[in-house]
Amino acid sequence: MLGRNRRGKTLLRAWQLSSPRRDRTHWKVFDPGSIAHAVETGDHFTKPLPGYTPDDPDMTGGVIESV
């Protein structure tokens, strides 16, 4: 999900497969401008992954794009 917070900052909510911090939370909020490395896995999903929230509370400035 791509959206904005209440101050207008663009945010990306994405499913993270792994993390150097070994955090078990898969849904993460990222600043798109600070992503240094991302890899497209080629996986496709027929429905949203567990924990997906279409009314994301962090996107108070509006949703730009979602599934």
4-22 residue pLDDT tens: 999 999 999 998 877 777 7
Closest to 29 measured CA to CA, from 43, 17, 19, 14: 14
Q: Which residue has the tokens 């600043």?
A: 31
pLDDT at 58 over 80: yes
Closest to 15 measured CA to CA, from 5, 39, 7: 39
Burial of residue 39 (number of CB atoms within 10 Å: 0-12, 13-18, 19+):
exposed
Kindly report the pTM of this predicted structure. 0.79
Instruction: Write down the pLDDT at residue 48.
Output: 86
36-54 residue pLDDT tens: 988 888 888 888 888 888 8
